[in-house]
Homo-oligomer: A and B are copies of this chain.
Amino acid sequence: MVRWQPDAHGRLQQAAMELYVERGFDQVTVADIAERAGLTERTFFRYFADKREVLFAGSSALQDRLVASVAAAPADLAPLDVLALAFDDVATGFFGEGLQHARARQSVVDSHSGLQERELIKMAAIASTLADALRRRRVQEPAASLAAESAVAAFRIAFARWVSGDAGERLAPVMSESFAALRTIAGGR
């Protein structure tokens, strides 16, 4: 059977995700992943530090893209508008067509407390990096940290609704709703 073969990185990711869903994260070894991908363990370790990082490889790319958006946003925008723009960009550009992958990944993360904790730590790091990016735009503390933390919360909540499957195929409108709700709350309504 001939099937389309993505690059080694993509093949490893796909093999890992299949195996995690089939067997559960703890029951899968790096050797299993390499074998399923038709590659060696050595190749695996050229791309990923360990089997957990296969699930979190996207998060530094996500962070970089958000930081770039914040830096490029028009100068006169309010902090939360800057962040809403950045998350809207990743909703369409980064997660545009990935609902199926995002759902598979989330089911793996949700079934394992160590992975849930890792996700929490990655999100906290993104919030802290976004607060830095806002401070470079001369947003003062505590507004910079508060805006960054609240925006990451809005993102996480939108993402969870999206992968739950009852909010449609596209992340962008769910993300907009989540930021709109955040504005309502901050405004005291």
Using CB atoms and an 8 Å cutoff, list the residues of chain A in contact with chain B: 77-81, 117, 120-121, 124, 141-143, 145-147, 149-150, 153-154, 156-158, 161, 177-178, 181-189
Contacts and interface: CB of A to CB of B under 8 A. Distances in A.
Contact of A157 (B145, B156, B181, B184): B145
Mostly, the A contact residues are helix
A97 to B, nearest CB: 23
Contacts of A186: 78, 80, 150, 182-187
A183 B178 contact: no
Of A183, A186, A187, most B-chain CB atoms within 10 Å: A186
B182 A150 contact: yes
A81 B143 contact: no
Going nearest first, the 3 A-B pairs with the smallest beta carbon separation are A78-B188, A149-B153, A147-B185
